[in-house]
């Protein structure tokens, strides 16, 4: 069980990864970033319809864990662009494999853009 002094449920690598990105929104945000989205409004316009309070919370958590970073693009009001860090970009092959697995077993899902499968983590870091 997670506590303030023990942030992970167990030392199992899979369990620790799920504690960081295992909610239903974090990987969707990372997916969007892999597909070129970088602004709050871009994430809001995704087909999953993430509520704004949850989006703000997940962006903050992803930043705290070093998966994304933010950079201001406007002063008044203060607004940010969000970018994947190397740690975040390294999730791309995981996302690609999850998509392949889902497509294999669920024929009713949509096909991501071809670039999703040809992009590498290095490409995302520019």
Model confidence pLDDT, tens digit, residues 33-66:
999 999 999 999 999 999 999 999 999 999 999 9
Q: Domain limits of the chain?
A: 23-124
If pLDDT is split at 50, 70 and 90, which confidence band does 4 have?
Answer: low
Q: Give the Cα separation of 60 and 52 in Å (integer).
A: 12
- Best CA proximity match to 94, nearest among 75, 111, 116: 116
- Res 8: pLDDT: 79
Instruction: Check residue 126 and give its pLDDT.
Output: 73
Q: Counting beta carbons within 10 angstroms of the beta carbon of residue 80, is it exposed (0 to 12), middle (13 to 18) or buried (19 or more)?
A: middle
Q: Which residue would you say has higher pLDDT here, 28 or 11?
A: 28
Phi and psi torsions of 16, nearest 5° = -65, -40
Model pTM?
0.90
Q: Which fold has domain 23-124?
A: Arc Repressor Mutant, subunit A (1.10.10)
Distance CA 4, CA 81 (A): 30
């Amino acid at each position: 069980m997670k506590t303030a002094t023990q942030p992970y449920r167990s030392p199992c690598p899979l369990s620790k990864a799920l504690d960081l990105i295992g909610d239903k929104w974090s990987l969707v945000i990372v997916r969007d970033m892999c597909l070129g989205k970088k602004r709050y409004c871009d994430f809001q316009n995704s087909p999953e319809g993430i509520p704004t309070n949850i989006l703000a919370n997940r962006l903050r958590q992803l930043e705290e864990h070093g998966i994304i970073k933010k950079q201001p693009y406007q002063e008044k009001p203060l607004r940010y662009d969000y970018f994947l860090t190397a740690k975040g970009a390294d999730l791309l092959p995981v996302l690609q494999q999850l998509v392949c697995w889902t497509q294999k077993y669920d024929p009713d899902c949509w096909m991501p853009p071809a670039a999703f499968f040809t992009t590498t983590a290095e490409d995302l870091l520019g």
